[in-house]
Amino acid sequence: MKYIKRAESIKIEQSAETEQTVKEIIESVREKGDKAVHDYELKFANSNRAIALSADEIHEAENTLSPETKTLIERVVDRVTTFAKAQLNSIKPLEMELGDGVSLGHRIVPIEKVGAYVPGGRFPLLSSGPMVVAPAKAAGASRIVACSPASYKGTIHPAIVYGLVKSGATDIFAIGGAQAIAAMAYGTETVPKVDIIAGPGNRFVAEAKRQVFGQVGIDLIAGPSEILLLADETADPKLLAADLLAQAEHDPSARAILVSLSYKMAEKTIRHIEKMKEGFQASSPAHQSWSAMGEVVVCDSLEEAIRVCDEYAIEHLQLHVKNPESLKTRFTHYGSLFIGEDSSVVFSDKVSGTNHTLPTQGAARYTGGLWAGSYVKVVTHQTISGNGTRFLAEHASLQSAIEGLEGHQLSADVRLEKLKETT
């Protein structure tokens, strides 16, 4: 294995300053509610508007969009919802007998109140709202509270509002940053307290989610976008370059990585990237991202390349190789797999139907991305009777005695005594 290009830095560290700033925001919102939210919105976003979007504002936002834009958003909502429902249907309730008199099982129960955070950013990302909200609606959430920054003419961009409404959001608030996360986690006079918070955001949002975890559930803490392309000698260097740059433009800290089985192909791809970047605006994050975070690795064998891919545990893994379907089950650690040169990550970012909220910074080693299952609980139940009571009580009594747990032993023994009295 040889690096042709190596990143200047790999781990995105959260600063102590960010941690302390977020802690202060959360405590303030927890104690002062709406007043603190208003103060932080004015301080960070120069926004002095009402927290909640009114019905009139929502209606006005919808009327400003062209029919074409509405159609695009509706298509995203439909495809994400359809896939989310199919995923949910793959989780089945369970009933089973585990011995005479022992019945066990589980139910699938929706999380009632969901908090959805949708970033504002430099551009209105039409898919961001549906990706977070539509799976929650499909899962059966009864209330979906959505927060997004008032970063467009003093309010939320109309396209984001329309996507939230069509996806099933029940409440929409023009709040961004850590103050939005705190408001949803603890509730204010205006913002309802939720049970789980989902959705991507900047470093302040990510840190806020980390700090409120336990008070509420969270989906995952996602960092800047990542892509890894596995390529062999059959790959098209122009496609490779385009796919890498597409993710690099998300953020100055985005990671674009090429793992190649061909040194020649790797060099061609680098040349194409440098040429293509000339057409990007000078302000595009792709310039800094590729320069500081981009990596190109050449491996000596397919087996080595697969091992390298798993070590990265990347957010998006795309296969630009001959017979990519044959490799589908060879990888273990990734957020989402894109099989073949035409299975562009861009399609998933926008409209294919799979969710684009995925694990980053190696988190794919232990979790997948946001999906319908993120919004349900698998809750177990049991019914014990007859011979099952006798068998389990005898076991529990003996085990409790060994463990020194007198109350546990008593709970088992009184049932054994009752059984003796009735036989």
Pairing relation of β-strands 171-173 and 102-110? unpaired
For the four alpha carbons of 341, 345, 347 and 351, in that order, the dihedral sign comes to positive
Give me the helix-helix angle, 67-89 and 128-139, nearest 10°.
40
Residue 130's closest CA among 79, 75, 77?
77
Task: Give the three-state DSSP class for 400.
Answer: helix
How far is Cα 310 from Cα 329, in angstroms, rounded to an integer? 12
User: Residue 241: is it exposed, middle or buried by C-beta count within 10 angstroms (0-12/13-18/19+)?
Assistant: buried
Looking at this protein, which amino acid is placed at residue 130?
A: P
Q: Which residues are catalytic?
A: 315-316
How far is Cα 102 from Cα 156, in angstroms, rounded to an integer? 54
What does 131-192 look like in DSSP terms, one character per residue? Answer: HHHHHHHHHT-SEEEEE----BTTB--HHHHHHHHHHT-SEEE---HHHHHHHHHH--SSSP
User: Residue 195: is it exposed, middle or buried by C-beta count within 10 angstroms (0-12/13-18/19+)?
Assistant: middle
Structure tokens at 334: 């990734």
Return the bridge partners of 217, or none.
Answer: 196
Residue found under tokens 């709406």: 34
How far is Cα 53 from Cα 66, in angstroms, rounded to an integer? 21
How far is Cα 263 from Cα 130, in angstroms, rounded to an integer? 41
- For residue 180, count other CB atoms closer than 10 A to its CB: 33
Residue 255's closest CA among 222, 223, 225?
225
